[in-house]
Amino acid sequence: MALRSDIGRIRLVNEDRGWSEELEPGLVVAIVADGMGGHQAGDVASKLAVDTFREALQGTTKALTLEERRTLISQAILQANEVVFDTASNNEQYHNMGTTVVAALLTEDNGVIGHIGDSRAYQWRDGSLTQLTEDHTLVNELVKSGQITPEEAERHPRRNVLTRALGTDEQVEVDIRGISWMKDDLLLICSDGLSSMISAAAIVETLQQSELDLDQKADRLVQLALQAGGDDNITVVLLHHAEDTELER
């Protein structure tokens, strides 16, 4: 696994948070959160979300069924929502803070992805890149309803407006999906500081470079986002399903 986070070229604070760990052999968890709220409130929101999620996942074993793991990831994210919302409600300086979240829990043959907001998960398999998450954004709603094209969405002045975030409301819905997880698959989870700055083609070009190891691929993705302007904080987690059933560290 590889984790990289960079403040970017514009922001004064890195409001992204990422965490990844092998909880036991063949059971890996990862999360990326992209905070918002100004005056370092975004920094607080993303840290609270990741810390709460991490605590909820500690002690998890492979003995859980896929359905139990879906419930676990959903409950962990909802718990994080409660903590961030309560903190924002009780502290004037954190009013309106929130964060995106995208998380994965992977075993040897399948995985669960949970997300809120516009941080993304992608799966790389057999030379093909698939986006696993759907952005909870205003422009994505406009694209889905046919009002604008995907190309227009990329340049839309309100492309950063979220329709759903963690911690901004008492109740929130988490999108959960199961995935198959096969030998040599790669999972990329990232904040929009990566996905809004570089194209899917650039991600593909990096992931297919067999001479680069996982850390070098993560570094290259961050560098590409910086070269494209680095308008936002950039966080990347790469997980590889290695050949020997153990996940590459």
Instruction: Give tens-digit pLDDT for 195-232.
Output: 999 999 999 999 999 999 999 999 999 999 999 999 99
pLDDT beyond 90 at 181 = yes
What's 224's domain CATH number? 3.60.40.10
Query: Is 249 a domain residue?
Result: no
3-state secondary structure of 214: helix
Any domain includes 180: yes
In this prediction the pTM is 0.94
Structural domain includes residue 247: no
- At 35-66, the pLDDT tens digits run 998 777 999 999 999 999 999 999 999 999 99
Residue 17 lies in a domain: yes
The residues that bridge with 186 in the sheet, in sequence order, are: 124, 240
Q: Which pLDDT does position 243 carry in this prediction?
A: 63
User: Looking at the 3D structure of the chain, how many domains does it have?
Assistant: 1
Sequence-separated (6 or more) residues with CB below 8 Å from residue 17: 5, 31, 32, 33, 35, 46, 47, 49, 50, 235
Inside any domain, residue 49: yes
Residue 248: inside a domain: no
Task: Give mean pLDDT, residues 115-130.
Answer: 97
**Does any domain span residue 154?**
no
Structural domain harbouring 119? 2-132+165-240
Residue 146 lies in a domain: no
Distance set, CA 61 to CA 66, 125, 131, 206 (Å):
12, 26, 27, 33
Mean pLDDT for all residues in the chain? 94
* 178, two tokens: 């199961």
